[in-house]
Amino acid sequence: MPVRKQPLTQQAPARTPAPGRITVAVITRDRRESVLRTLDRLAALPERPPVIVVDNDSADATAAAARAHPVGARVIALPRNTGALGRNLAVRHATTPYVAFSDDDSWWAPGALATAADVLDTHPRLGLLAARTLVGPEAAEDPLNAVLAGSPLPADPGLPGPPVLGFLACAAVVRRRAFLDAGGYHPVLFFGGEETLLAYDLAARDWGVAYVPQVTALHHPDPGRRPGRSAVQRRNALLTAWLRRPAGVALRDTARLAADAARGDPAATAALRGALARLPAALRHRAPLPDRVERAARLLDGRHT
């Protein structure tokens, strides 16, 4: 399969990483053409990173197509859909100190991975780097960029950018050791809005999470709505509160969601039902944040309110 021409981006090329510094991990399910497009873009990068593709039980021959792609990805085909946990598997199989995540509709700008590896080399306490995300062929700024850049958390001289407790999963680069130390993505959440919990768990173990806009990820989501996405994200936000926040915060968030459901909001109703079904598992894994991380989370609560 020929490699398509890489579109121009705003990312300035940087020094190519030394071999073996960074792997790209991709998770996919039933999106064969999308993942092949992503692999085309990754194959064209000057860094030539190793690629791991985790296929979450696709029924459209995605795994076979990915194995045949000239990028030479290692493909792990799973017998069931593991959601975001597929990223955990990819990180465990990676042999490089850093792992960059892509979804099957996202990739990295030329030079971005080199820059990310250099930043992680220079800042040994940095556990996760949240990249700047440009969306679609027009390379529009993702609204999350401004949110991360305006983080109200106090500056940390040991980090390369504003400290944050959130990021976009398909625009993040992790230190493999830190990711495994934090336990990766949590099984209770499965998929959707899973990033905040990982950021909490990294921060709880003294790993920094920072926004670094010098690193650019490119996201080309398919047009159209994604049914059920809002409900899943609200479900997981509530479960995250029960997993890590004080009981008062979790009860407050539960009451708010229940009030929305009582007013007839169908997404809130679905979110509440889903959260209640998973609540026993969340309570079994409950581990409240250290005071310093809880204080940071409360700062962000105030801004969101």
| Same domain assignment for residues 290 and 192 | no
Tokens of 208: 């920094």
Alpha helices in the chain (DSSP H): 32-43, 62-68, 85-93, 112-122, 143-149, 176-182, 195-204, 229-244, 247-262, 266-284, 291-304
Q: Which of 192, 219, 246 lies at the terminal end of a domain, its last residue?
A: 219
Mean residue pLDDT across the chain: 92
| Same domain assignment for residues 108 and 38 | yes
Q: How many Cβ atoms from other residues are within 10 Å of residue 19's Cβ?
A: 11
| Same domain assignment for residues 166 and 278 | no
Domain that holds residue 254: 229-304
Tokens of 233: 């994200």
Number of domains in the chain: 2
At residue 9, the pLDDT reads 37
What radius of gyration, in Å, describes the C-alpha atoms of the chain? 19
| Same domain assignment for residues 162 and 265 | no
Contacts of 36 (CB under 8 A, 6+ apart): 1, 65, 66, 69
Considering the domain boundaries, does residue 15 fall inside one? no
What beta strand segments (E) does 156-195 contain?
A: 172-175
| Same domain assignment for residues 47 and 194 | yes
Q: How many Cβ atoms from other residues are within 10 Å of residue 61's Cβ?
A: 12
State how far the Cα of 256 lies from the Cα of 247, in Å rounded to an integer.
14
- The pLDDT tens digits of the residues spanning 136-161 come to 999 999 999 999 999 999 999 999 99
Q: How many Cβ atoms from other residues are within 10 Å of residue 248's Cβ?
A: 8
At residue 225, the pLDDT reads 58
**CATH code, 50:** 3.90.550.10
Q: Which of 189, 219, 249 lies at the terminal end of a domain, its last residue?
A: 219
Tokens of 229: 């996405």
Considering the domain boundaries, does residue 11 fall inside one? no
Distances (CA, A) of 175 to 91, 98, 288: 10, 5, 24
| Same domain assignment for residues 155 and 245 | no
At residue 223, the pLDDT reads 75
At residue 303, the pLDDT reads 61
Give the three-class secondary structure for 76.
Answer: strand
Q: Which of 197, 219, 241 lies at the terminal end of a domain, its last residue?
A: 219
At residue 2, the pLDDT reads 38
State how far the Cα of 41 lies from the Cα of 4, in Å rounded to an integer.
7
Taking the chain (305 residues) in runs of 10, the rounded mean pLDDT of each run is 37 48 97 97 97 97 97 97 97 98 97 98 98 97 98 97 97 98 97 96 98 98 76 97 98 98 97 98 98 97 63
